[in-house]
Amino acid sequence: MKRTLLLIALGITMNTMAQNQAPMVLHYDRPADFFEESLPIGNGKLGALVYGGTDDNIIYLNDITLWTGKPVDRNLDADAHEWIPKIREALFNEDYARADSLQLHVQGPNSQYYQPLGTLHIKDLGLGTVTDYHRSLSLDSSIVKDSYLRNGQKIEREYFASNPDKLIAIRLRGDINCRIALTAQVPHQVKAIPTQLTMTGHAMGDAKESIHFCTMISVRTDGETTASDSSLTITNAKEAILYIVNETSFNGFDKHPVTQGTPYLENAANGIWHTQNYSYDEFYARHLADYKAIYDRVKLRLSGDSGQSGDYGNTDALLKAYTDSGGNSRYLEELYFQFGRYLLISCSRTAGVPANLQGLWTPHLWSPWRGNYTVNINLEENYWPVFVANMAEMAQPLDDFIQALATNGQYTARNYYGIGEGWCSSHNSDIWAMSNPVGEKRESPMWSNWNMGGAWLVNTLWERYQFTQDKAYLRTVAYPLMKAAATFCLNWLVENPKVPGELITAPSTSPENEYKTDKGYHGTTCYGGTADLAIIRELFINTIAAGKVLGEKKNALQKMEKALARLHPYTVGHMGDLNEWYYDWDDWDFQHRHQSHLIGLYPGNHLINEELRTNSYKLLKACERSLEIKGDETTGWSTGWRINLWARLKNGEKAHHIYRKLLTAVAPEKSRIPNYSKGGGTYPNLFDAHPPFQIDGNFGGVAGVCEMLMQSHDGVIELLPAIPEVWSEGKVSGLCARGGYEVSFEWKGGKVRDCSIKARQNGTVTLLYNGQQKTIKLKANQTQNIKTW
């Protein structure tokens, strides 16, 4: 009763969910045996993976600021740039083998590792048979629950992670007799007193050079508590509440974690004292109000989902049935969409520390690909849905991170490329905003030697302006970073010796892909790669546009405008595809997971805008042919990208087909479950399967659904641009469009029936729907209903 009154006082009862969206809940009838079955909670910094065992309830803890290493050495490899002229000489002599070998000299250290925080065990000391187990994650309420009967007596547990109060809360109810133990895979020590566990430790490596942490768990119970050296025992209780806080010594990308670190011990102590300020129900009410203020902005309902009772069975079974039946559950498609939004809200709220390859959640001491920031697609993909799916605040950590990259990237530009103006970033990064090319002078250039990361990332800053129309942000944050990245690119471009007057990049690689020359050489280093030039085109176009919005003097933009006009153009290959390489070479692997040469189509806008402006569709047809050659079988994150690409091409049936591919049931990595896909898809807990788990595919899927429902460019909003037949009826509310608009609409028979648009400022927009075009004048902060039929 108390919780209900609190929620009513805040105006957010559990029934305030939009009437037309089904309950968004993941259900399971057994505990998790594997990481890919566990349920994630997070407050943007502190997170947990709940397994929900009945004898031993394992909960992996994570803190997004716990990494190995320390700030980068900005003088590292100061002479590496001296190899660039030699690489160019080899390339322009068509000696690609030599160019590949010389590239090793322009490689620096690999990134640091994201680390797990700790492992909490809640061991039920009761004996007897367990029945009636149920475990769930409510996306609408941002809470995990599980329950079971032991000897006929019910045990109930709840778990949530609060951003306002910087804690994780767990409540146990029933006949509670349990032991609570805290341990970690990293160096640590644990101390117990009757109502509190304290764990201190540090990331792997020298304790004098590593991020340190302090985790504290406070127990409130009506039972009895006793302490051993490193655990607590609760007996004879009807209720027990655990509050978990953690702080690390991380104090910014340029601060030494020991000598300049935060007072993490004091901060953790203050955090645990704060748990006395509110009751459990009050903490949950504060958490829910904060979460729903973001989550409730967007609601989705697709045709074929009755959605009245919310009884869809176990999510893992629903996923498997969806895979086996060819994708006939609209509810699962809605659930996956909202799960992705839940994940981004839960893992991207820490200043300067964006969501990494695992988002926030890992049980591994050494996560796949170091759990780092992979900037040749994956970090960008993490934030594709952030504006269109109405979660703009979640992009702030990325903004901060880009500014850090720009600071370090000035030295990378100088040391590795001999360029004293602007900044660049490379394939990988970490919490220290490392910007150098990786590879350690021994790894393939295809994933080591690439300097377009910064040029690509800053387009997210332009997207924020496009969606919010915040001119102050554009002036003070976005434009300076974009202009500096463009300045590097202007200096990096060289004149094409094959075509005087043309500008290309050299050396160049196309992220992680390999070519076969007409003479049979299998290599990675080239010149004039399409991906490089696509990124630079998008950057120049957007930076010029930003400068004009801000009233930049014309002569300040002329150099960029002239260089843009001189860039080597797109070309179409002998297979009718868009060439990925300067020459019409074949890919070594035609089905390669990366499609970096299509960046101008998505997430970029310039390719489709130019084709529409000139009424020429030659390049769009070439993009389509490239996707046809790539095929449909690929990794999870690549599948997410391809949904968006097909949607941009206005092919709703194909986009939905690829969305169904993304929702292919994949068994947990360490399981031996038969009849499951071994490729890309979705794990039982709806985490994206690369495999292994990478969170970017989840976010690519969310963006893809938005792109199928609505697209916006250059003052035009198009509704249902790529709607599949199976989505012939539905409704969506709260999507955001470029130009500063929030759009809601309903459709039947594939036709828009009702639409409303809210504008951030006075303006005019062109609305495309049902084969019609309507120009609409809008007033700031007013919602206008549009008659569409």
Residue 90 pLDDT exceeds 90: yes
What is the model's pLDDT at position 509? 98
Q: What is the pLDDT of residue 789?
A: 67
pLDDT at 304: 63
Helix %, strand %, coil % of the chain (to 5): 35, 25, 40
Per residue in 244-262, pLDDT tens? Answer: 999 999 999 999 999 999 9
pLDDT at 616 (0 to 100): 80
- At 788 the pLDDT is 75
On the question of pLDDT at 12 being above 60, the answer is: no
pLDDT at 454 over 60: yes
Specify the 3-state DSSP secondary structure of 782: coil
pLDDT category at 676 given cuts 50, 70, 90 is confident
Tell me what the mean pLDDT of segment 484-494 comes to.
Answer: 98
Alpha carbon distance 500, 566 (integer Å): 10
Q: What is the mean pLDDT of residues 198-219?
A: 98
Q: Give pLDDT, residue 716.
A: 95
Mean pLDDT for 742-764 is 95
- Residue among 730, 740, 782 nearest 765 (CA): 740
Least confident of 102-111, 183-192, 643-652, 775-784: 775-784
Strand ranges inside 55-211, DSSP E: 56-63, 118-124, 130-138, 143-150, 153-162, 167-183, 188-193, 196-202
What are the start-end ranges of the E strands in 163-308?
A: 167-183, 188-193, 196-202, 212-221, 224-227, 231-248, 299-302
What are the residues whose beta carbons fall under 8 Å from the beta carbon of 543, sequence distance 6 or more?
Answer: 462, 479, 482, 483, 485, 486, 560
Q: In sequence order, what are the residues at sequence separation of 6 or more whose Cβ sits closer than 8 angstroms to the Cβ of residue 33?
A: 51, 668, 671
Q: Contact at 8 Å (CB) between 216 and 250?
A: no
Residue 18 pLDDT exceeds 70:
no
Higher pLDDT, 433 or 1: 433
Residue 9 has pLDDT above 50, yes or no: no
Q: SS3 of 248, please?
A: strand
What mean pLDDT comes out for the span 661-687?
89
The pLDDT tens digits for 99-139 are 999 999 999 999 999 999 999 999 999 999 999 999 999 99
Whole-angstrom CA distances from 292 to 4, 138, 468, 515, 713 are: 16, 12, 20, 48, 29
3-state secondary structure of 574: coil
Q: Any idea which residue has 């919010």 for tokens?
A: 468
Question: How high is the mean pLDDT of the chain?
Answer: 94
Q: What tens digit of pLDDT does each residue of 611-662 get?
A: 777 778 899 999 999 999 999 999 999 999 999 999 999 999 999 999 999 9
343 pLDDT higher than 50:
yes
Average pLDDT over residues 95-100: 98
* 147: Cβ contacts below 8 Å, ≥ 6 apart: 132, 133, 134, 154, 155, 156, 157
> Long-range contact list for 768-774, CB < 8 A, 24+ apart?
768/716, 768/717, 768/718, 768/719, 768/721, 769/718, 769/719, 769/720, 769/745
540, exposed or middle or buried, with CB in 10 Å at 0-12, 13-18, 19+?
Answer: buried
Average pLDDT over residues 219-243: 97
Amino acid at 642: R
Average pLDDT rounded to a whole number, residues 299-318: 76
DSSP track, 450-514 = ---HHHHHTHHHHHHHHHH--HHHIIIIIHHHHHHHHHHHHHH-EE-SSSTT-EE-SSB--TT--
406/418 Cα distance (integer angstroms): 16
CB 144 within 8 Å of CB 41? yes
* Residue % of the chain over a pLDDT of 70: 96
Q: Residue 401 is inside which H or E element, if any?
A: helix 396-417
Backbone phi and psi for residue 420, each to the nearest 5 degrees, phi listed first: -95, 5
Residue 233 CA to residue 166 CA, distance in Å, equals 25
What does residue 559 show for φ and ψ, rounded to 5 degrees? -60, -40
Map residue 146 onto helix, strand or coil. strand
Q: Whole-angstrom Cα distance, residue 467 to residue 545?
A: 14
For 553, phi then psi, to 5°, come to: -60, 140
Of 3-7, 65-69, 121-125, minimum mean pLDDT range = 3-7
